[in-house]
Amino acid sequence: MNTTENPWQTLDSAVKYENNWLAVRHENVITPTGTAGVYGVVSFKNKAVGVVPIDQDGHTYLVGQYRYPLDEYSWEIPEGGAPIGTDLLASAQRELQEETGFVAARWTKIARIHTSNSATDEEGFIYIAEDLTPGPHAPEETEDLALLKVPLSEAVQMVMDGRITDAISMAGLLLVARLRGV
């Protein structure tokens, strides 16, 4: 079997729910083994962008907020959405400024990830932002954010001991730590 060819057959597809951010599709399929099946797919209307800001002293900045779907508080890297078809870097720059107030002079894209590829088509992109200049932050009206400055090593420890559970944040912080030898 050629693993690069799609072994699934879609018989029909119908959007069962849709809002400004996502759509949920119900699809009747033939599975790779030839049996009939059902697949539910969540399609996002944005690409996810995450930013690991690093200041001149090697500290990073985490954003804390209460996450409604999880019913718990979450520490994360600055992140948000890039509408499909828009510039990913511009969206990452906007999210950094909105959530932290920082503007960065140097940007490096370090990853493309799939956040939960068994149920969603969500694609995320992670950047490092350096040469930071502080300024006013302007969170969206639905955001009540806290900002936490920590050494990169402490942020990695927060991932390792379960205080950071957001997938994009975990991937971004661990990648930056590996790239920097932390």
Q: pLDDT value at position 182?
A: 85
Domain identity same for 23 and 53: no
Per-residue pLDDT tens over the stretch 40-93: 999 999 999 999 999 999 999 999 999 998 999 999 999 999 999 999 999 999
Q: Is 88 within 8 Å of 74 (Cβ atoms)?
A: no
pTM greater than the 0.85 cutoff: yes
Domain identity same for 91 and 143: yes
Q: pLDDT value at position 22?
A: 94
Q: pLDDT value at position 44?
A: 94
Environment class of 87 (CB within 10 Å of its CB; exposed 0-12, middle 13-18, buried 19+): exposed
Chain centroid to CA 58: 22
Average pLDDT, the chain: 94
Domain identity same for 160 and 175: yes
For residue 53, what are the domain limits?
46-180
Domain identity same for 33 and 54: no
Closest CA relative to residue 60, chosen from 162, 160, 138, 177: 177
Domain identity same for 61 and 104: yes
Q: Is 126 within 8 Å of 113 (Cβ atoms)?
A: yes
Domain identity same for 57 and 140: yes
- Number of domain units in the chain: 2
Q: Is residue 1 part of a domain?
A: no
Domain identity same for 127 and 56: yes
Domain identity same for 65 and 85: yes
Per the model's pLDDT, the better-predicted residue between 145 and 147 turns out to be: 147
Domain identity same for 72 and 54: yes
1: pLDDT strictly greater than 60: no
